[in-house]
Amino acid sequence: MSRNDSKSRPETARDFVASHVKSVPPSGIREFFDIVSTRKDVISLGIGEPDFVTPWHIREAAMYALDHGATSYTSNRGLESLRQGMAAYVREAFNVSYDPETEILVTVGVSEALDLAVRSVVEPGDEVLYHEPCYVCYGPLVTFAHGKAVAVGTTRENGFRLTRAMLEKKVTARTKALVMNFPTNPTGATLSREDLEGIAAFAVEHNLVVITDEIYSELTYDGERLSIASLPGMKSRTIFLHGFSKAWAMTGFRLGYACARPDLVDAMMKIHQYTMLCAPILSQRAAIEALKGYRRDVEEMRSAYEKRRNFIHRALNEIGFPCIRPTGAFYAFPYIAGHGMTSREFALKLLDDQQVACVPGTAFGPSGEGYLRGSFAADMEDIKEAMRRIGVFAKKL
Ligand code: PLP
């Protein structure tokens, strides 16, 4: 054995893992699905990804690009024609204009865009507000950037909305940014214009940057679809993030983008340039196609999700697990407390007893205790059978 072989000196082996990385627990969704993967004949309402395959013409564009030798890097910012398409889309859909030359960066999914946005603004000790229950990465990304993640708990009683009053209770002199995601994974909540105006006024008053994750915006079922970036005075303090995974059913393409004023995009570019270089060219070529005549593709899937939303919302409330009407995204978030079990225990018992997989609400932060997340990005027949089984389970409680 060599002198450096740790097996020869286990007691002196150095712990190389950084303590701030160690402090972050692994994703609760992964942990739960490692258990689900060991079971047979499970109906899964657990996966947060479309059950549709990417529309054919988009796949065809990727195949065409490959067939014609598109195998190189692209510019770090992403293909110019894609950034032009993104600028046109964001202007049409959200009424915000970004310059494709200087204000848009193509990224590897919204995941990379979120990481770049957080890392480009957070300095050690800066506080970042985010609403919870929320998508699993917001808190950890802030910790990885040596910031302090500050969760603002939202509740069923007010429809899992985020309000200015709630934010005022958590803001301090160290607060630098607010991360928000409406429609929300996992609650399905959306905000009204009035809510957004209150949050915008809060951001201006405390001089904060707002990072808005708009990945589910196309999947809005009720009410106005509005981004905080479009409110007066907000474009210059907002990093607008969007991507193709959900509404275009393109999770495997790993494509997203960040829009912001040039100094913020330059900062994100710097990190992107040294860590990622560029998003995959085939995905970028597919995304150019995805933005052409996108309304029809997206609308077809959105209206299928809406029918399932109507069904699952009614079914869960009838069974006796109260659930707000999800006004966006593709998740129902029923309240299942009061049976002497934590969310995790409830989810495991439901899995054991009825072979139905839903994610425990605590995977989305401590304020998810008492809830389960059921995705309706699943086949309608599976959703119906899952509701029947959950009804049987509820009667035994
Ligand atoms: N943001 C939210 C709110 C999500 O729910 C997800 C995926 O579930 C992501 C971002 C990640 O998106 P992408 O596939 O574009 O990296």
CB contact burial 161-195 (16+ within 10 A = b; e otherwise): bbbbebbeeebeeebbbbbbbbbbbbbbbbbeeeb
Distance CA 339, CA 377 (A): 27
80 and 223 in a single domain? The answer is: yes
Ligand 1 neighbour 132 (Cβ under 6 A): no
* Residue located via tokens 């904060």: 208
339 CA to centre of ligand 1 in angstroms: 32
Ligand 1 neighbour 328 (Cβ under 6 A): no
When the pLDDT of each residue in the chain is averaged and rounded to a whole number, the result is 95
- The arithmetic mean of pLDDT across residues 150-168, rounded, is 97
Query: How would you list the strands of the sheet with 359-360, edge to edge?
Result: 331-332, 372-375, 359-360
265 and 136 in a single domain? The answer is: yes
Q: Is residue 328 part of a domain?
A: yes
- The arithmetic mean of pLDDT across residues 228-237, rounded, is 98
User: Model pTM greater than 0.75?
Assistant: yes
Q: Which atom of ligand 1 is nearest to the CA of 184?
A: 3
Distance CA 50, CA 356 (A): 18
237 and 88 in a single domain? The answer is: yes
pLDDT band at 105 (very low <50, low <70, confident <90, very high): very high
Ligand 1 neighbour 248 (Cβ under 6 A): no
262 and 381 in a single domain? The answer is: no
284 and 308 in a single domain? The answer is: no
Which of 293, 310, 337 is at the close of a domain?
293
* Residue 27's CATH number: 3.90.1150.10
5 CA to centre of ligand 1 in angstroms: 41
Q: Is residue 1 part of a domain?
A: no
CB atoms within 10 A of CB 276: 14
32 CA to centre of ligand 1 in angstroms: 18
Q: Which atom of ligand 1 is nearest to the CA of 110?
A: 15
198 and 281 in a single domain? The answer is: yes
What's the residue count for the chain? Answer: 397
Query: Mapping DSSP to helix (H, G, I), strand (E, B) and coil, where does residue 202 land?
Result: helix
> Is there a contact between 284 and 82 (Cβ–Cβ < 8 Å)?
yes
- Residue 5 pLDDT greater than 60, yes or no: no
66 and 114 in a single domain? The answer is: yes
62 and 159 in a single domain? The answer is: yes
* Residue 62's CATH number: 3.40.640.10
284 and 304 in a single domain? The answer is: no
CB atoms within 10 A of CB 375: 25
14 and 42 in a single domain? The answer is: yes
Residue 37 has a pLDDT of 86
DSSP 184: P
DSSP sequence for 259-328: E--HHHHHHHHHHHHHHT-S--HHHHHHHHHHTTTHHHHHHHHHHHHHHHHHHHHHHHHHHT-------B
Query: Mapping DSSP to helix (H, G, I), strand (E, B) and coil, where does residue 149 land?
Result: strand
DSSP 70: -
Which of 293, 318, 350 is at the close of a domain?
293
Q: How far apart are the first and last CA of the chain?
A: 59
- Structure confidence by residue, pLDDT tens digits, 283-321: 999 999 999 978 899 999 999 999 999 999 999 999 999
Q: What angle do CA 214, 187, 148 make, to 5 degrees?
A: 70
> Is there a contact between 282 and 65 (Cβ–Cβ < 8 Å)?
yes
pLDDT band at 2 (very low <50, low <70, confident <90, very high): very low
CA dihedral 40, 359, 45, 255 (to 10 degrees): -110
- Structure confidence by residue, pLDDT tens digits, 335-385: 999 999 999 999 999 999 999 999 999 999 999 999 999 999 999 999 999
- The arithmetic mean of pLDDT across residues 147-152, rounded, is 98
Ligand 1 neighbour 107 (Cβ under 6 A): no
110 CA to centre of ligand 1 in angstroms: 6
Ligand 1 binding pocket mutation candidate from 185, 251, 257 (most atoms within 8 A of CB): 185
The HSE-up count of residue 31 (CA atoms within 13 Å, CB side) is 13
Choose between 38 and 53: higher pLDDT: 53
Q: Is residue 79 part of a domain?
A: yes
Q: Is residue 2 part of a domain?
A: no
Ligand 1 neighbour 256 (Cβ under 6 A): yes
Ligand 1 neighbour 291 (Cβ under 6 A): no
- The arithmetic mean of pLDDT across residues 123-148, rounded, is 98
- Structure confidence by residue, pLDDT tens digits, 177-221: 999 999 999 999 999 999 999 999 999 999 999 999 999 999 999
103 and 231 in a single domain? The answer is: yes
Q: Is residue 247 part of a domain?
A: yes
Single-letter amino acid, residue 289: E
Residue 7 has a pLDDT of 54
Give the residue whose CA is nearest to atom 12 of ligand 1: 110
Cα 319 to Cα 47, 96, 139, 308, distances in angstroms: 22, 43, 33, 16
Q: Which atom of ligand 1 is nearest to the CA of 181?
A: 3
CB contact burial 237-259 (16+ within 10 A = b; e otherwise): bbbbbbbbbbbbbbbebbbbbbb
Ligand 1 neighbour 46 (Cβ under 6 A): no
Ligand 1 neighbour 133 (Cβ under 6 A): no
Cα dihedral 349, 352, 356, 362 sign: positive
Ligand 1 neighbour 28 (Cβ under 6 A): no
Residue 8 has a pLDDT of 58
Task: Give the domain extent around 23.
Answer: 7-53+296-396
111 CA to centre of ligand 1 in angstroms: 6
Ligand 1 neighbour 326 (Cβ under 6 A): no
Ligand 1 neighbour 321 (Cβ under 6 A): no
With CA atoms as reference, report the closest residue to 241 among 292, 291, 181. Answer: 181
Q: Is residue 244 part of a domain?
A: yes
Residue 10 has a pLDDT of 64
Residue 1 has a pLDDT of 43
- Residue 397 pLDDT greater than 50, yes or no: yes
Q: Is residue 326 part of a domain?
A: yes
DSSP 231: S
Which of 242, 258, 293 is at the close of a domain?
293
Query: How many structural domains is the chain composed of?
Result: 2
- Residue 6 pLDDT greater than 80, yes or no: no
Residue 9 has a pLDDT of 56
pLDDT band at 47 (very low <50, low <70, confident <90, very high): confident
66 and 152 in a single domain? The answer is: yes
* Residue located via tokens 């030359």: 101
214 CA to centre of ligand 1 in angstroms: 9
Q: Which atom of ligand 1 is nearest to the CA of 113?
A: 16
Ligand 1 neighbour 110 (Cβ under 6 A): yes
Residue 50 has a pLDDT of 96
